[in-house]
């Protein structure tokens, strides 16, 4: 009997619920609201099902998003005319191929990356977790070798390193099969080899009309150029990105400025005058003058032929001058020339020596200029894990190899600072936002309805007390209270659940200040319902106060309460977001916290950072406003009867 009554009550409630939904669906804004609402709930469900427990704690740490490029737009912008390299984060658990020879076994992991825009990726690295093999009690640590086959045919050996167990002297107890991890870096990149490979491929050499014919000097000139190119790649392409570039033009010139040479020449002539005036051994003096003349002539020759001289001839002449000056130095010592004269000869010799040294080690004489551009096309990245001396290599290596190319775009919604994936945070922010909104709305409407009914039905002292409380609460601005209590909460709460407690504090304050409006309206409704004849009839039949309230008043108030509840949901969500933007961060991945980080980093120029969370806030808010309006239209005739 009781069960059937209960069932009939449930069926009645579900019946009226169905009617309400169809009433809402009949209105255009109501339809939009329902569709949006279902989308929101779907997002929330997906988020709750897929979220990992550590996400709430770790989402703000940079290491969690290590493989993502930082502050890049979503990838679909390429169809809007943006040009961005795509991002690849490929993790292998099985090798692409395996080669076994007598002395070694190689596991090869291959990934093909296509670069189809004129922009180099931002980073390239390989992460490896490989097992330590052992055979007959001997540990076998592997080497890792990363080669890149470029579209232009060059095969670049980018990294070649031994994976060493327990690097920094920690107490690692190694066992067979324990995993060793390694990550390639800028420091271990073989830039010298890559530079040489590029120079060979594109025949970048110093031309004979610049370098001359002397083999040593040709080699010197080329090595200066190599160093320059290397520095360029290091600075402009952050070392690693040299994998993705090719030279498009280069120009090598000889410094034809003679100012320094003229200074040398003048100083030698000055020395000559000095020596001519000295009263020293005449034979030695003549020899000194002769050597100075030779030196001067060599330099003058360079000055006179500066427009045609080659690097070889230039340096040979300078070396001759240097030898002669050295000679002068010795002769001056033999002739016991005055100390000041000898030291000025010595100084000049040293300066000239320095000049030659600089000319053979830095781009001071040989001045290469080279322009690089991005090399588009198909790249093939090969990661080779090699074990030496393993007789029975395992077929399935329990290794995890990651090849990461950080491009200029990422995912559906791009990334924020630290590489935070905005799509993920926006998705996981949905259930939190809805929870905050509903918790606040339900609790404050619940309190409001109860207070309103009690106040209206019983009247007297209780009514007066509730009304005055509502008066005072209505006079208080909410924001400053939220801020001071929020910052107290931030200081007071510690530990793992800190974020939760802070949010609960916000919700608590919002509830305390949120029930007043509902209470006033419900009180008015109760007052008018109380005067209805059927209430009097019920009282006459001996119905208790509880029965009258639950049977006659509450059902009429409820549908109004539903409208208020729906209207109240977005307020709390937006307030929480606003507090985050104001700097009161709680640490959970909410829409507000994404916007807050944009505020903190001062990056309002990044549209993909501020649009999605703000749009979600606005759409959520709009959903409930429209839903509320639709419900209100159903309620309206009842409200008019008041």
Partner 1 sequence: MPGAGSVILRRGLILLVTFVIIVIVVAAIVEGTGYSKDIYEAMIREIVNGEVMALRRGGNITEAFIEQYKKNRTYQLMVEFELIDENGNEIPPYRRMWSLVYRSLLFNFTKTDKVGVANVVPTTAPADVASIIAAVLPRTIIVVTVGEAIAIVIALLIGPRVAYRHGSLADRFTVAYAAIITAVPLWWLAMIFIQVFSYNLGWFPRDLRGVATVLNEFWNNPLNNFVEILRYITMPITAFVIWSLGSWLYGLRAMLLRVIREDYVMAAKARGIPERLVTRRYVLRVSLAPVITSVILALAGSIGGMIITESVFNWPGMGTLYYAAIQEGDSMTLLALTIVYVGVYLVARFILEILYIIIDPRVRVR
What Rg value do the Cα atoms of the chain yield, rounded?
A: 41
Task: Please say which residue, 351 or 621, places its beta carbon nearer to partner 1.
Answer: 621
Give burial (CB, 10 Å; 0-12/13-18/19+) of 255. Answer: middle
Edge-first strand order for the sheet with 377-388 is 97-100, 104-115, 377-388, 143-149, 155-162
Cβ of residue 527: shortest distance to partner 1, in angstroms? 19
Cβ of residue 27: shortest distance to partner 1, in angstroms? 13
Binding interface with partner 1 (CB under 8 A):
29, 471-472, 475-481, 483-485, 487-488, 491-492, 570, 574, 577-578, 581-584, 595, 598-599, 602, 604-605, 607, 610-611, 614, 617-619, 621-622, 625-626, 629
**Distance in angstroms (rounded) separating the CA atoms of residues 483 and 479:** 6
Q: Locate 532 and state its tokens.
A: 């209805």
Cβ of residue 615: shortest distance to partner 1, in angstroms? 9
Task: Please say which residue, 30 or 363, places its beta carbon nearer to partner 1.
Answer: 30
Task: Please say which residue, 313 or 632, places its beta carbon nearer to partner 1.
Answer: 632
Containing 515, the helix (H) or strand (E) segment is none
- Please enumerate in sequence order all residues whose Cβ is within 8 A of that of 568, keeping only pairs 6 or more positions apart, or say none: 437, 440, 441, 444, 445, 514
- Token pair 């020293």 is found at 280
CA angle, residues 461, 465, 470, in degrees to nearest 5: 150
Cβ of residue 240: shortest distance to partner 1, in angstroms? 31
HSE (CB half, 13 Å, CA atoms) of 582?
14
Task: Please say which residue, 334 or 476, places its beta carbon nearer to partner 1.
Answer: 476
Task: Please say which residue, 172 or 642, places its beta carbon nearer to partner 1.
Answer: 642
Cβ of residue 596: shortest distance to partner 1, in angstroms? 10
Tell me the three state secondary structure of residue 204: coil
Q: b/e per residue, 267-300, with b = 16+ CB within 10 A?
A: bbeebbebbeeeebeeebbebbbebbebbbbbbb
The answer to whether 377 touches 244, Cβ cutoff 8 Å, is no
Task: Please say which residue, 329 or 593, places its beta carbon nearer to partner 1.
Answer: 593
Strand partners, 145: 160, 384
Strand partners, 570: none
Strand partners, 546: none
Cβ of residue 158: shortest distance to partner 1, in angstroms? 38
Cβ of residue 82: shortest distance to partner 1, in angstroms? 15
Cβ of residue 570: shortest distance to partner 1, in angstroms? 7
Cβ of residue 479: shortest distance to partner 1, in angstroms? 4
Cβ of residue 95: shortest distance to partner 1, in angstroms? 47
Backbone angles phi, psi at 440, to 5 degrees: -65, -50
Task: Please say which residue, 85 or 626, places its beta carbon nearer to partner 1.
Answer: 626
DSSP 87: P
Residues across the chain: 642
Task: Please say which residue, 20 or 483, places its beta carbon nearer to partner 1.
Answer: 483
Task: Please say which residue, 303 or 582, places its beta carbon nearer to partner 1.
Answer: 582
- Please enumerate in sequence order all residues whose Cβ is within 8 A of that of 363, keeping only pairs 6 or more positions apart, or say none: 224, 225, 227, 228
Task: Please say which residue, 343 or 618, places its beta carbon nearer to partner 1.
Answer: 618
């Amino acid at each position: 009997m009781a069960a059937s009554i209960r069932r009939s009550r449930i069926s009645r409630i579900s019946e009226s619920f169905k009617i309400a939904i169809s009433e809402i669906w009949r209105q255009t804004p109501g339809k939009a609201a329902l569709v949006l609402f279902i989308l929101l709930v779907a997002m929330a469900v997906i988020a709750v099902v897929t979220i990992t427990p550590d996400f709430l704690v770790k989402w703000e740490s940079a290491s969690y998003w290590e493989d993502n490029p930082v502050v890049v737009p979503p990838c679909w912008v390429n169809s809007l005319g943006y040009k961005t390299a795509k991002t690849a984060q490929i993790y292998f658990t099985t090798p692409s191929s395996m080669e076994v020879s007598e002395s070694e076994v190689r596991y090869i992991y291959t990934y093909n990356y296509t670069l189809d825009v004129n922009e180099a990726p931002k980073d390239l690295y390989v992460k490896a977790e490989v097992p330590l093999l052992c055979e007959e009690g001997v540990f076998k640590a592997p080497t890792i070798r990363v080669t890149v086959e470029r579209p232009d045919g060059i095969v670049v050996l980018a990294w070649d390193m031994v994976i060493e167990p327990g690097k920094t002297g920690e107490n690692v107890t190694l066992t067979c099969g324990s995993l060793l991890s390694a990550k390639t870096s800028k420091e271990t990149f073989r830039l010298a080899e890559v530079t040489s490979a590029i120079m060979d491929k594109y025949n970048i050499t110093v031309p004979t009309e610049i370098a001359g014919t002397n083999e040593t000097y040709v080699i010197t000139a080329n090595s200066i150029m190599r160093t320059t190119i290397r520095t360029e790649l290091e600075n402009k392409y952050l070392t690693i990105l040299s994998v993705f570039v090719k030279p498009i033009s280069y120009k090598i010139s000889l410094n034809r400025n003679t100012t320094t040479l003229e200074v040398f020449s003048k100083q030698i002539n000055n020395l000559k005058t000095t020596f001519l005036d000295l009263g020293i051994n005449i034979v030695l003096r003549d020899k000194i003058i002769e050597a100075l003349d030779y030196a001067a002539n060599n330099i003058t020759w360079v000055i006179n032929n500066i427009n045609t001289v080659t690097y070889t001839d230039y340096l040979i002449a300078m070396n001759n001058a240097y030898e002669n000056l050295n000679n002068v130095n010795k002769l001056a010592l033999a002739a016991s020339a005055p100390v000041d004269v000898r030291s000025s000869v010595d100084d000049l010799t040293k300066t000239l020596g320095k000049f030659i040294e600089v000319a053979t080690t830095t781009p001071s004489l040989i001045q290469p200029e080279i322009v690089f551009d991005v090399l588009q096309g198909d790249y093939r990245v090969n990661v080779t894990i090699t074990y030496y001396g393993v007789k029975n290599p395992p077929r399935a290596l329990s290794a995890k190899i990651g090849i990461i190319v950080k491009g200029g775009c990422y995912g559906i919604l791009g990334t924020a600072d630290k590489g935070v994936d905005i799509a993920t945070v926006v998705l996981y922010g949905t259930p939190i936002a809805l929870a905050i909104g509903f918790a606040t709305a339900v609790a404050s409407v619940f309190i409001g309805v109860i207070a309103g009914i009690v106040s209206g039905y019983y009247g007297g002292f209780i009514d007066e007390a509730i009304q005055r409380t509502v008066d005072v609460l209505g006079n208080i601005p909410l924001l400053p209270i939220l801020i001071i209590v929020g910052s107290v909460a931030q200081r007071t709460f510690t530990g793992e659940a800190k974020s939760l407690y802070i949010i609960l504090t916000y919700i608590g304050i919002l509830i305390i200040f949120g029930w007043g409006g509902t209470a006033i309206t419900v009180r008015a409704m109760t007052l008018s319902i109380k005067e209805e004849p059927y209430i009097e009839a019920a009282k006459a039949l001996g119905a208790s106060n509880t029965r009258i309230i639950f049977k006659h008043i509450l059902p009429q108030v409820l549908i109004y309460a539903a409208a208020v509840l729906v209207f109240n949901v977005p307020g709390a969500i937006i307030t929480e977001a606003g507090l985050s933007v104001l700097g009161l961060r709680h640490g959970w991945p909410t829409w507000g916290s994404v916007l807050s980080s944009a505020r903190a980093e001062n990056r309002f120029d990044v549209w993909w950072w501020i649009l999605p969370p703000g749009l979600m806030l606005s759409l959520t808010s709009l959903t409930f406003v429209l839903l509320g309006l639709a419900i209100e239209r159903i309620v309206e005739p009842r409200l008019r009867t008041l």
